[in-house]
């Protein structure tokens, strides 16, 4: 059928236009890194997120002009899908092209046609990838030229345009760090192989070289951060081999990497060998292919629903005034829906909430703000919704849901990793754990502020604790840019009458914030308040917040390292 083949090719052309632009943006990220253009790199990262939808819209517009409106022609579209599948047999981005097809079809037709007869609910490349994993990495054999020369060759092959300040010195530190961080203290050149991904991963102010060291006993995943000095020269900053450190680098609370990949499925397969606890959805999102991450996550959810029988319930913790949150106990995520009506203290509406979640999506999350997966018209089996939850949903989000037969349809939904709410964590923490987590809560605030994010509502219930005991923010309905706020010191009393006045007597504008009140506002328990005040007294001073605003307005981009400072090679240089 000629028309079917023409439609299939048109959609594939739309995808290939998208991926070509995606690759060009990634190449531009590399150039901006070499130039130290950090604000430009942030701009690229933000803008890239919306480009996918723009390419889908272009393709939909082109097809709309050629197709009759209404229901899809069943025979035609089954043939379109069959022809499209044939075109993907050896396509290096086949899985991404399937997702693009789904996006186009779902924009053209009603939700009732969203099944495997017409779209790729199930992938056609399961169990295979069109390009072998080896296409995405190079292998090096130190037995040929020795370890130092091999490490030099690896860095040279990555293709950084800017020169290194002292690459031989950096290589020696890499060799020494590997010996310190592994049991292989006396490993000889003939006893190992190095597999290294061909292209660096760019994010914020760093480039990351990623690979693995293979020995006869085991393999060691590694990440090597490369930084750019103020003089324009590059330097190797650390060697990371601890799986926990690698997991933090690829955390769901960080901005997406910018990395060139000819065969993303092969790249993700390699990354999974290094980070086995990360799902495909996690890794596709981490490398900037967040639409593919959505597709993979939805497949994970469908598979989990097939293999489990528990029911969805309201998420534990204090109910939010803006979001209704529920969860499936056996599945490590929460589902968030904007309530029909907010509490009286929330002086904004649905559109503002959507905008603020988009702000965080497009912003540098600095490892402190959970990524959200956003869906429309989500179908959930009604028999997996507990009776109590269904009643609460009907009363809180009734305008955003409807029941069709045995299915609950939710119009607009956010999904996040399920974390232990910080207020609940503190109820069971011992003294040492309490002190450590309150310190990290303060550090989380400082990281967000340095990235020009003012969280708004800083109550403990709006923060969660990860498996690695890191504090992450996840409630974005009051998020604003730090530079939009007005930080003020509390007025000092001039006389006895001033002393008798309460804080409500102070004239306050809509964007005024008094950091001095932070500890009192957040911590009801005096003991917690005292610990926090001891650990982070600067957060209680308006001058601290104002100084960060000043730096941001001057175009400064803060250094926020996603790995421990004690692993940085600069610690050696400071001692020499």
Annotated binding site for ATP: 315-321, 336
Let me know if 526 is exposed, middle or buried by CB neighbors in 10 A (0-12, 13-18, 19+).
exposed
Residue 31: HSE in the Cβ half-sphere, 13 Å Cα cutoff = 8
**1-to-42, 75, 82, 119 alpha-carbon distances in Å:** 46, 10, 11, 18
**Kind and range of the H or E element at 38?**
helix 38-64
Tens digit of each residue's pLDDT (9 = 90 or more) over 83-109 = 999 999 889 999 999 999 999 999 998
Residues of the chain with pLDDT under 70: 127-129, 182-187, 493-507, 571-576
Per-residue pLDDT at 505 = 54
Q: Are 480 and 549 in contact (CB under 8 A)?
A: no
Q: What is the pLDDT of residue 572?
A: 47
Distance CA 441, CA 430 (A): 16
pTM beyond 0.85: the answer is yes
- Angle 2-35/94-108 helices, nearest 10 degrees? 120
* For the chain, domain boundaries: 2-113, 133-289, 303-418, 422-553
CB 485 within 8 A of CB 511: yes
| Of 471, 525, 559, nearest in space to 227 by CA | 559
Residues designated catalytic: 371
The two structure tokens encoding residue 57? 């819209």
The three-state secondary structure class of 153 is helix
Angle between the 542-553 and 431-450 helix axes, to the nearest 10 degrees?
40
Q: Which residues are annotated as a binding site?
A: 315-321, 336
pLDDT at site 181: 77
The answer to whether 382 touches 420, Cβ cutoff 8 Å, is no
**What's the confidence (pLDDT) of residue 576?**
40
Rounded to whole angstroms, how far apart are CA atoms 12 and 10? 5
Structure tokens at 226: 């490369």
pLDDT tens figures, 542-569? 999 999 999 999 999 999 999 999 999 8
How far, in Å, CA of 138 to CA of 113, rounded?
44
């Amino acid at each position: 059928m000629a028309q079917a083949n023409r439609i299939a090719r048109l959609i594939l052309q739309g995808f290939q236009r998208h991926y070509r632009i995606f690759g060009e943006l990634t190449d531009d990220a590399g150039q901006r890194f070499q130039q130290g253009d950090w604000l430009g790199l942030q701009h690229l990262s933000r803008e890239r997120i919306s480009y996918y939808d723009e390419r889908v819209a272009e393709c939909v517009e082109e097809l709309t002009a050629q197709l009759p409106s209404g229901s899809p022609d069943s025979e035609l579209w089954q043939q379109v899908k069959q022809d499209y599948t044939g075109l993907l047999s050896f396509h290096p981005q086949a899985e991404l092209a399937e997702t693009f097809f789904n996006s186009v079809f779902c924009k053209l037709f009603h939700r009732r046609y969203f099944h495997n007869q017409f779209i790729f609910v199930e992938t056609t490349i399961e169990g295979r990838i069109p390009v072998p994993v080896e296409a995405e990495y190079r292998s090096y054999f130190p037995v040929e030229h020795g370890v130092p020369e091999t490490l030099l060759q690896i860095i040279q092959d990555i293709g950084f345009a800017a020169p290194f300040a002292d690459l031989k010195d950096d290589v020696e530190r890499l060799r020494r760090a590997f010996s310190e961080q592994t049991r292989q203290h006396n490993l000889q050149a003939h006893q190992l192989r190095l597999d290294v991904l061909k292209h660096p991963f760019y994010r914020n102010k760093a480039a990351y070289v990623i690979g693995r060291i293979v020995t006869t006993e085991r393999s060691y995943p590694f990440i090597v951060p490369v930084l750019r000095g103020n003089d324009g020269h590059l330097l190797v900053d650390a060697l990371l081999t601890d799986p926990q450190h690698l997991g933090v680098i690829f955390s769901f609370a960080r901005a997406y990497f910018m990395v060139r990949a000819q065969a993303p499925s092969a790249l993700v397969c390699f990354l999974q060998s290094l980070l086995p606890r990360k799902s495909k959805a996690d890794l596709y999102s981490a490398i900037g292919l967040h639409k593919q991450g959505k597709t993979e996550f939805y497949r994970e959810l469908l598979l989990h629903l097939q293999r489990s029988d528990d029911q969805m319930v309201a998420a534990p913790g204090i109910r939010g005034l803006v979001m209704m949150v529920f969860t499936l106990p056996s599945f490590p995520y929460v589902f968030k829906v904007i309530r029909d009506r907010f509490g009286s203290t929330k002086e904004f509406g649905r559109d503002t909430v959507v905008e603020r979640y988009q702000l965080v999506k497009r912003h540098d999350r600095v490892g402190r703000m959970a990524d959200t997966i956003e869906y429309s018209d989500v179908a959930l089996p009604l028999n997996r919704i507990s009776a109590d939850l269904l009643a609460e949903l009907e009363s809180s989000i009734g305008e955003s849901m409807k029941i069709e037969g045995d299915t609950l349809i939710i119009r607009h939904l956010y999904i996040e990793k399920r974390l232990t709410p910080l207020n609940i964590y503190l109820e069971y923490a011992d003294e040492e754990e309490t002190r450590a987590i309150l310190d990290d809560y303060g550090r989380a605030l400082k990281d967000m502020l340095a990235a020009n994010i003012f969280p708004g509502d800083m109550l403990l219930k709006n923060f969660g604790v990860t498996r690695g005991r890191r504090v992450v923010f996840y409630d974005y309905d009051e998020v604003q840019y730090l530079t939009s706020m007005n930080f003020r010191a509390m007025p000092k009393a001039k006389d006895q009458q001033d002393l008798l006045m309460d804080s409500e007597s102070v004239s306050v504008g809509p964007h005024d914030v008094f950091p001095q009140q932070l500890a009192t506002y957040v911590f009801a328990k005096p003991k917690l308040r005292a610990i926090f005040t001891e650990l982070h007294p600067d957060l209680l001073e308006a001058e601290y917040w104002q100084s960060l605003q000043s730096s941001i307005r001057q175009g400064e981009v803060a250094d926020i390292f996603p790995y421990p400072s004690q692993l940085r090679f600069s610690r050696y240089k400071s001692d020499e």
